[in-house]
């Protein structure tokens, strides 16, 4: 074996003893943090850019779909589709009150 390879093997042994796990944990940890930060940026930057565009009068990059125009009835009240079961009036309820 040539002396350059022997030197490399000596230093590899030096690394294997204690440093292998320590450096692994540090690298894996910093990569995890960077991945988390980049996913946050990926998620929020387009939304922030869209907000700025909207505020400056531009059209949204994410057009909202299925938004129906509100219509009014003859009394001028806004008609909306029912959003859930109607709440019973106090008088109509069959649930006994606990006094």
Partner 1 sequence: MDDLTVINTYLKYQAGTCFRILYDRYAAKIFSKAYTMLGDEKRAEDATQEIFTKIFLNLRKFNGKSKFSTWVYSVTYNFCIDLIRKNKKKKNLFADELENPPDLKNEEVPDEDLLRMEVRKLKEVLRRLNDRDRSILLMKYQDEMSIRDIAGIIGKKESAVKMQLKRAKEKAKRIHDELPNVD
Binding residues (CB under 8 A) for partner 1: these are 2-8, 10-12, 14-16, 19-20, 22-24, 26-28, 30-31, 34-35
- Taking the complex as a whole, the smallest distance from the CB of residue 9 to partner 1 amounts, in Å, to 8
Residue of 48, 72, 69 lying closest to 60 (CA atoms) = 48
Instruction: Select 28 or 52, whichever has its Cβ closest to partner 1.
Output: 28
> Which CB, 27 or 53, lies closer to partner 1?
27
In Å, how far are 42, 46, 55, 67 from 51, measured between CA atoms?
15, 9, 6, 19
Min separation Cβ 40 and partner 1, Å: 16
Nearest to residue 20, comparing CAs of 31, 6, 28?
28
Which residue, 25 or 49, has its beta carbon nearer to partner 1? 25
Work out how close the CB of 45 gets to partner 1 at its nearest, in angstroms, rounded to a whole number.
18
What minimum distance in Å lies between the beta carbon of 16 and partner 1? 6
Token pair of 84 as six digits: 């859930």
- Exposure letters 22-34 (e unless 16+ CB within 10 A, then b): eeeeeeeeeeeee
């Amino acid at each position: 074996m040539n002396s350059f390879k022997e030197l490399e093997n000596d230093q590899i042994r030096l690394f294997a003893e204690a440093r292998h796990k320590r450096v692994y944990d540090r690298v894996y940890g910093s990569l995890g943090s960077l991945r988390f930060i980049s996913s946050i940026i990926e998620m929020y930057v387009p939304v922030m850019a869209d907000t700025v565009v909207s505020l400056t009068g531009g059209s949204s990059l994410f057009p909202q779909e299925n938004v129906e125009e509100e219509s009014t009835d003859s009394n001028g009240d806004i008609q909306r589709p029912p959003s859930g079961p109607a709440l019973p009036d106090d008088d109509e309820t069959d649930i006994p009150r606990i006094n």
